[in-house]
Structure 1
Amino acid sequence: MGERQLTPAGGTVPLGREFFDRPAHEVAPDLLGRVLVYGPVALRLTEVEAYGLPGEDPAAHTYRGMTPRNAVMFGPPGHVYVYFTYGMHFCANLVCLPEGVGSGVLLRAGEVVAGIEIATARRSAGTGRGVPARDLARGPARLAVALGLTLEHNGLDACAPADGTLAVLEGEPPGADLIRSGPRTGVASGKETPWRFWIDGDPTVSPYRPHVPRRRRTS
């Protein structure tokens, strides 16, 4: 897979804040095919998951209200919410709806279209193994590593051109006939909600895995 050139025909215009000022389950499918750029690495989004409102969506980080950890989710739309999970991974979301609401879209997978060498070096660091191009950002934790996103980037504004560090470009959205939806991956609550969206047939989409309860050890 070669690097795609980000040309005007491919949509280099950043998405404005109004794009994200909508319910997450409406923003999510519209993010497919858009190009997320951070520094020298850019990727075309191929899989996302929407998470709903406090008190309504038990799978959302905001379900029980605002905390120091999820405060960015209650900020203005278009900002990036990065969190640390399982003691080893970072994951990135884009905040939706007006300030004070608390909703967003998890970025699950993408195709790296620029900065492939850098993304590959980040993903293979310490392993001594190469990483296939399709796997560079195939999954939310891999996506964060490929882009170089960590907790220090929590709160970055993707809609501030003057910032110059992060943007979501128009890209080339797929036709409606190529967008699929289904249950969200690995969530214990609200697992029937079909708010996972992906581009049908794209090799960078991560495999679906239902939540598996942890078994308690018995003595």
Structure 2
Amino acid sequence: LELAIIENIQREDLNPVDRARAFQRLIDEFNFTHAEIGKKVGKSREYVSNSVRLLALPEEILSAISQGKISEGHARPLMMLGDRPEEQNTLFKEIMYKKLTVRETEAIGRRIAYDKIRKKGATLDPETQEMEEKLTETLGTRVSIEKRENGGKILIDFFSQEDLNGILELIKSNKVKSGTEMLDKHIDANPVPPKNENIPEYIADSSAVEMTVENLDDRTPVEKKQDENSEEEIYSIKNFSI
């Protein structure tokens, strides 16, 4: 039985979830360590450990990985949200329906990680947090507010030109008088601008690209290899720079 499981693991067409479950069987039924399994299948201990961690994901996500609807690379930011099931499920749906690449998914993961640490540190006052939540509900996408000594900025997630148009329509429905109304009021109240004030750039990418599951994993072969054999737990929030 042990040999049969190992031979099954070495099949090229084995999906990541079945591979992880096969590793887990060797652990449960034969008391193998991750290092011992790695030697038997010609992989590193870290590769085995990172594979087994996939099994902590909800069944719906595991099913999507098994069926090739999302790639194994998407698991990293999803695993990071294991203690936030609602955010995890939302990100999973965005990957599925908006065809996010691995890098795009990781970028959202970093945003969520930043938001988690920011709120834990109570850098936002309750009133601003409430505004952030209301904007998120109103626009139907993630919104974060970054306050500074002089003003701040609002970050709104969107994933297509259609999303951007929808956000614009929602904002216009609130009958904003002009596109520079807030700026005009700020200039009237503060005739002399603060020194060294940065001017934010707003870039909207309206290109629509038809993508397959394979090219949604936009990591290079070297990056994939590094993730597979990472010494650290690659799904930990600490591995997402802010």
Verify same fold: TM over 0.5: no
Whichever of the two has the greater Rg, that structure is 2
More helix by share: 2
TM range (shorter): under 0.3
The TM-score normalised by the length of structure 2 is: 0.24
More strand by share: 1
